[in-house]
């Protein structure tokens, strides 16, 4: 429920800056992420011996993920965000179009690498969830 509230507030901020189409797309992405988390938790609920947060293997994987995110943040820390907060009416060259078209163009031009990486991670997550739910029997794949 908290994720839906945060997604709604973030989309409200984007609507306030003139990007209603982009906020709708982000809200759908958040809801899709919640669906993946639900499927993952449903797959783990049937595990007879789950590993907890205090387990050493889980702690090692968590530290590796935090270090990986930190290294990616250092790698991509440059000026990727410059020009990302252009409001809807600042596109003089595209005065025929709405500001949402400019927002989508910015999303695909400046954030193209992040979009490709996000799509790859979501596809990998889907395969992991399908493999986890398969268990010892035949699954969806």
Domain-located, residue 139? no
Q: Note the helical H segments in the chain.
A: 2-16, 20-45, 56-75, 99-109, 112-134
Enter the pTM of the model. Answer: 0.36
Span between the terminal Cα atoms of the chain, in Å: 31
Distance CA(32)–CA(38), nearest Å, equals 10
12-53: per-residue pLDDT in tens?
A: 877 777 667 767 777 888 788 778 777 766 766 666 666 666
Residue 77: phi, psi to the nearest 5? -70, -15
Distance CA(27)–CA(33), nearest Å, equals 10
> What is the mean pLDDT of the segment spanning 58-70?
88
Domain-located, residue 72? yes
Distance CA(15)–CA(100), nearest Å, equals 10
Distance CA(107)–CA(34), nearest Å, equals 22
| Domain hosting residue 71, numbered range | 2-134
Domain-located, residue 84? yes
What domain count does the chain have? 1
Domain-located, residue 140? no
Distance CA(26)–CA(104), nearest Å, equals 11
């Amino acid at each position: 429920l908290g994720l839906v509230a945060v997604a709604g507030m973030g989309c409200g901020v984007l609507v306030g800056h003139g990007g209603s189409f982009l906020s709708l797309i982000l809200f759908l992405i958040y809801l899709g992420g919640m669906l993946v988390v639900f499927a993952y938790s449903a797959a783990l609920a049937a595990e007879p011996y789950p590993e907890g947060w205090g387990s050493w293997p889980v702690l090692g994987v968590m530290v590796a993920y935090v270090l990986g995110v930190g290294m990616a943040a250092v790698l991509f820390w440059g000026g990727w965000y410059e020009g990302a907060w252009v409001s809807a009416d600042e596109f003089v060259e595209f005065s025929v179009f709405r500001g949402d078209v400019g927002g989508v163009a910015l999303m695909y031009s400046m954030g193209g690498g992040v979009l490709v990486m996000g799509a790859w991670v979501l596809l990998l997550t889907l395969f992991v969830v399908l493999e986890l739910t398969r268990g010892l029997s035949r699954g969806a794949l």
